[in-house]
Amino acid sequence: MVENRQAIGYDREILTTGALVYTVDTAVRTGRGPLRVVDATPGSAEGLDDALFQPGTSWAEPATGTVISFDAARGDDLRVTVDPAGTQDPS
């Protein structure tokens, strides 16, 4: 799942804008952690504080090979491309 996080409304105080990606494991019961945030910068000292993907980046889902590319931002809009066949190289 992809969520466009912008500094408006409920998120008006966030310091960084971008795309929040998370996976859902339907085999895990609610309350047991079925949602997992995908960190755009794994291994950074910031943990999940810098987890948002920025335009020009992409992520490949390891199990399926689906590639999600975060193409461009214009104002509060973020253009995202989903390649279910995984034919694009993630960057």
- Rounded to two decimals, the pTM is 0.82
Q: What are 82's two structure tokens? A: 């989903």
Over residues 2-22, the mean pLDDT reads: 92
What is the SS3 assignment for 2?
Answer: strand
Q: List the domain boundaries for the chain.
A: 2-83
What pLDDT score was predicted for residue 35?
92
- Residue 12's region, left for phi above 0, alpha for psi from -120 to 50, else beta, is alpha
What pLDDT score was predicted for residue 90?
59
What pLDDT score was predicted for residue 91?
57
Residues 6+ apart with CB under 8 A from 19: 2, 3, 4, 5, 52, 53, 54, 70, 78, 80
Mean pLDDT (the chain) is: 90
